[in-house]
Each structure stands twice: as structure tokens, then as C-alpha cells.
Structure 1
Amino acid sequence: MLGTAALHIPNVPAAMPDTGSSAPHRPDTVRTPAGLDVQGHRGARGRRPENTWPAFQYALEQGVPTLELDVVISADGQVVVSHEPWMNAAICTAPDGTPIPEGTAQQHNLYRMTYEEIAAYDCGQRQHPAFPEQEPEPAAKPLLHDVIARAEAFVQDTGREPVFYNIETKSRPAWEGRFHPSPDVFAQHLIDVIEDAEVSPRTTVQSFDPRTLRYTREAVPGLRLALLVAQEGDAGLAENLTTLGFVPHIYSPDYQLVDAALVTAAHTRGMQVIPWTVNDLTVMRRLVNWGGDGFITDYPDRAMRLRSE
């Protein structure tokens, strides 16, 4: 068990970006989780089917401050919780009960399907091959507004602290028009759901795609934004921020890109550092001792034990 002297868990306030725009500023009611921000990756991918209610419920039961999830857009403009804008052949089953054949996943394009059609598929009863401890159970891809409603009800029923949401827009320039709408339309669909659910003060929008972050910053000044950074193509902190065009509240790189110097540099710019996807307790401890503000993990149960230490 770590002694308290061994852990440095800063509660760095989220930086407010200088918008430099003429968009009207709304009151800043942004909140941040207290202490180490453990985020359940796709809910709890290591324990339950990813991006389904069973995974989110499991994460909530562990006490995570934040649910991390991904969203795509359906043909009828619904915001659907899914990591890919298609049916993943490794975990999804067609309405006729047959697994999605390898090499055909993108033919099951969610952007060309209504939500009614999407909901007829199952993406939970087949165990993810990379997660042998995952407990499969039948589950459809849910709508974002349903996940939020159920999470908010869970909080109220159990009396736990309010939950935060970290929502990734699954957009890429090469996918535009084929797997998702334009970045502004995509982001606005997401904003509408967040605002209708009245969870904006507890929500972060994250993306590898700067375009949806730029639009969200203009549309909802003050909403927390996180820049995701992958190892492939990483140009370094300064250049990544230059490409984005502003300083987001959170810098969220692949954990293998993080060291103490990066954490310090990000904090100096007023950003929190929340890496992904951290499943090893040794790595978790190292990130915390470097001053990281949290991390995204497939195993929120492991991470919450560390948080309690």
C-alpha cells in the first residue's frame, strides 16, 4: 500500500481557454472531480462489454468519478454510444444471430443505419478476445441520452457523488461524409444531448480530431475540452497545441508518451494531464507520482483501489 507521502494527487483547476472569438460567453459553471480522476474506459471494458449499460453500471458501482465513452451518429441523427462507426466484427452479432464476418465490419455502417436498425444488433454476448476477465451479456449499442439518464438515476438511487462524463467524438477527416457528418454537425448533435440532459458542467468533450473541439469551443464557451494524442504521429506538446489552435482544459496522451516533464509542461500551461489507457497498477502509481491528474482505464476496480490508498 502506498503511504500518503508517496502520492502527489494535485487538484489542478481546469484552464479556461482564451477563446478570442465573438461568441457570447455563458456563465462558467464547469466542475472537476476532486482528487484523482479515475475514468472508466468505455465504462469498464476489462470487466463488462464495452460502451454498454452493464459496463457503465459496473464502473459506477466501483465509485469512479468519471465515465469515459465514445459516440457516433446514426442515419437518423441519433447520438449512439460506440467506439467504431460500424459493427466491430470481434464482438458484434447481426440481427439474425450470426457474428459479423471478418473483413465486412465497415459494411455495417452506423451512419447509414437508423437507431432502430442499430439496436437490433448485439455487441455484448461475445466476449472480447483481448479481455478474458470480461463477463459477456447480451447488450445493444445504447443511445447517449439513455446512458446519461440511467447514470443520473443510479447516482440518485444510491446516494453516491455526482458522476462526470468524458465523451469522445469518433471523427476523422477521411471518414467525413461516409461514416459521420461534418464536424460541426457531429459536435452539435452531441452538444444538444449534453445540454438537454443538463450535465454540461460535469462533461468533457474529447477528440483526436481538432475540428470537433474547435467547433465545440465556439458553440459552448466554457465546456471542458480534452485533446487526445496517439503515439503515431505525435508531434510533441507545443506543436500539438499549435495545430489545435488553443489550450484545452485537458491534455490526454497515450500513457507511453507521458513523463514527469510532460506533466509539468502541461500544468504550466494550465492543463490537466489524463492519459489513456492505463491498466497496470505500477504504471498508475508512476503517473500519479509524476503529478498526473487521473487516467482512463479498462479496469476501474483496480484503479479505485489505488485511489483509496
Structure 2
Amino acid sequence: MALYLALRSIVVVVGKVVVYSYLSPSNDFTGRIEVQAHRGGMGMRSEESLWAFAYAMEIGADTLEMDSVFTKDGPDIYETKCTGDYVGEYIKNLTLAQVKSLDCDLQLHDYVQQNTHHGTKIAILEEVLELVNCYGDKDVTINLETKIDPTAPERTWPVEKYIELIPILSKHGLLERTTIQSFDWRTHILIHEQYPAVPLVALLDQTTIVPNTTGGAYPWLGGLNLEKDYDGDWVATAARDRGERYTLFTTKNVVDRANRLGMQVIPGTIDYEVMSNKMIDGGVHSIISNYPERVFAVARQRGLSIGHAKNPSMPECLTNASV
């Protein structure tokens, strides 16, 4: 179980940290918990597959959390557990056709409840957006992470490439229901410059809030110097960064401080009931989980409302899920 936090008007994870200051008067979470299905709910379905995102909508998850990376000729949804001729190569050097030749139906040992489908293929972003529209789910939102590493530029396209995600989301009518998250804060800076209305989520973990060994710069923080400018205070750094990012470990003190700075904390990935209870006790309003139904169960036991209306199964929307 990876842990992280997300700061936003409503985001959190326990091993990484996400921050995002976008508090809207309409985001009233009194008496309820927002549940984000991490990679579609990878504890129950093949991660980031169309099958997973369909499952998340069918159980009524609030948010589809997913990753995106660019191939030679377009963005796809990041998938790590596949077999085929191109496994081990950087996706940026492959075409979509080559990526689509991979089989991604492996059963993950850590997720024994995972339901796999023979011939599952990597989904491209447009297929996921088309799936949402095919289901007709008007309430589900998207939390899209850009997979980019500023310390390994040879692995992905330059950060400027990720601006192209915005027109794709807009084309399918889902931009207004999407937040963009990243550990690489350069993503947020560039997107905010061109699309200031897009909500941003800042991700952090122990590896991204430390300086490099040559010169003391913080490569993940988009030019911010955590030690020099903010005395090592992640919360203050996140608030300064237009609330778009924030790193912390989920305690009530952290949640209270973030709230005072106009941010909400969202921990992830929270996969066990005992941790969900601890997060709710700490005051969070949103939880990211590989097992969203476990979070639902805890919330119901505590008398909290969760999710939204379930969607019926729609196999006709999954024609691109497997070959």
C-alpha cells in the first residue's frame, strides 16, 4: 500500500501527498466522504483498464483516479503490468499500435481479489473519456496524474507535452470535471499559465521533498526551495504554490493546518478499514483507495453518506477493453 497525500479542496492519500487549493463554496462535505477509485480500483480489477473504470462507475465511486503518459503519437493511460515484445522499453519511444499489442491481464499477487479479463489492453485517454460518456455518468469526476520524472528526462516527453491533455479533456466535455495532479510541479505551473481555471493537485512523498545532491535544488517542486523559502514547511509551501500542491502525512494537525490555509487533505492509498477510520477521525473529507467499497463500508458504519448513484453494467461500452 503506497501512502501519499493530496491537497486540494478534497484530495488525500497516505504514502504520497497531494495538495491542491481549490476550495469552492459548492464543495460542502459535511456528513459525507468523497471516495476516489485509485487506478479504477486496482484491488478489484486490472489497474487502469477500461474494466476498472467501468467497475468504479458501477459501484458509484465519486472519482476515477488515473495516470497518463505520452507515446510517440498520443497519450495513453499508464499501465505497468503487461506482457509482450515491448515490455521494458520507454513508452515515449513506442507508437500507440505497439503499446496496444501488449497484453495486460496479469493477476497481481498483492491483490488476490482482482478480477482480470483475458486480453485486456492498455487504455488510451480518449477511450476512458468515451467510456465515461457512454455510461452517461454525469456526476463522476476525473483525477488525472501526469507521469513525468524531472530527474529522468530520458524516460518521458518534456513537461510541455502534457499541455495537450487539456484540449483532449475539453473535446469530450469532461475538462470541467477533471483535476490534474502530479509529483512534478512544473506540470502545474505550465498548465496554470495557459489554463488558469483548471484545478490542480500537488503530490508529494518522502522522495520529492528532498534536495538533490548537487546544489541543493528541489527538482520536483518546480523551482520552489522548501528549505530556503519555507523553512522546510511543506504545508506553507503548498499554500504558496497557489494551493495547487501540498505534501504531508495525514494527522489531525496537518489536516487542520491545511484547512486553515484553504486546502483540504486527501490521503491515499487507503486500503484497510482501520486506516479509513483513522483518516476520517483525522478530519479528511476524501480518500483514495484501491478498494473503494471498503471505504464505503466504513463510511456507512459511521453514518456518513458516500458516492453517488450506481450505474448499471453496460458491456456495450467496453468494446475496446480487450482484444
Shorter-chain-normalised TM-score: which range? 0.7 to 0.9
Whether 1:145 aligns to 2:132 is no
CA separation of 1:12/1:245 partners in 2, compared to 1, >3 Å: closer, same or farther? closer
Whether 1:94 aligns to 2:105 is no
* Contact 1:123/1:139 (8 A) holds in 2: yes
The offset of 1:212, in angstroms, is 0.4
1:207-229 alpha-carbon deviations (Å, 9 max, x no partner): 11010011111111121111111
Whether 1:162 aligns to 2:154 is no
Output the CA distance in 2 between the equivalents of 1:31 and 1:170.
Answer: 30
Whether 1:66 aligns to 2:63 is yes
Whether 1:258 aligns to 2:238 is no
Whether 1:224 aligns to 2:205 is no
Q: Which runs of 4+ in 1 moved over 6 A?
A: 11-14
Output the CA distance in 2 between the equivalents of 1:263 and 1:40.
Answer: 21
Alignment correspondent of 2:173? 198
**RMSD between aligned alpha carbons?**
2.7
TM-score by length of 2: 0.73
* Contact 2:179/2:199 (8 A) holds in 1: yes
Q: 1:122 aligns with which of 98, 103, 113?
A: 103
* Contact 2:71/2:92 (8 A) holds in 1: yes
* Contact 2:178/2:199 (8 A) holds in 1: yes
The letter for the 1-side match of 2:140 is V
SS in 1 for 2:233: helix
Output the CA distance in 2 between the equivalents of 1:274 and 1:12.
Answer: 6
The offset of 1:16, in angstroms, is 4.4
For 1:1-309, list aligned pairs within 5 A.
Answer: 15-16=21-22, 35-76=32-73, 78-83=74-79, 88=80, 91-94=81-84, 105-106=87-88, 108-124=89-105, 126-137=106-117, 138-154=119-135, 156=136, 162-176=139-153, 178-186=154-162, 188-234=163-209, 238-239=233-234, 242=237, 246-249=241-244, 251=246, 253=248, 257-308=249-300, 309=303
| Identity between Structure 1 and Structure 2 (%) | 26
Tell me the matched-pair count. Answer: 262
CA separation of 1:12/1:225 partners in 2, compared to 1, >3 Å: closer, same or farther? closer
Output the CA distance in 1 between the equivalents of 2:244 and 2:273.
Answer: 26
The letter for the 2-side match of 1:195 is S
CA separation of 1:173/1:244 partners in 2, compared to 1, >3 Å: closer, same or farther? farther
TM-score by length of 1: 0.77
The offset of 1:268, in angstroms, is 0.8
Q: Which structure has more RCO (C-alpha within 8 Å, separation ≥ 6)?
A: 2
Output the CA distance in 2 between the equivalents of 1:31 and 1:175.
Answer: 39
The offset of 1:303, in angstroms, is 1.3
CA separation of 1:240/1:114 partners in 2, compared to 1, >3 Å: closer, same or farther? farther
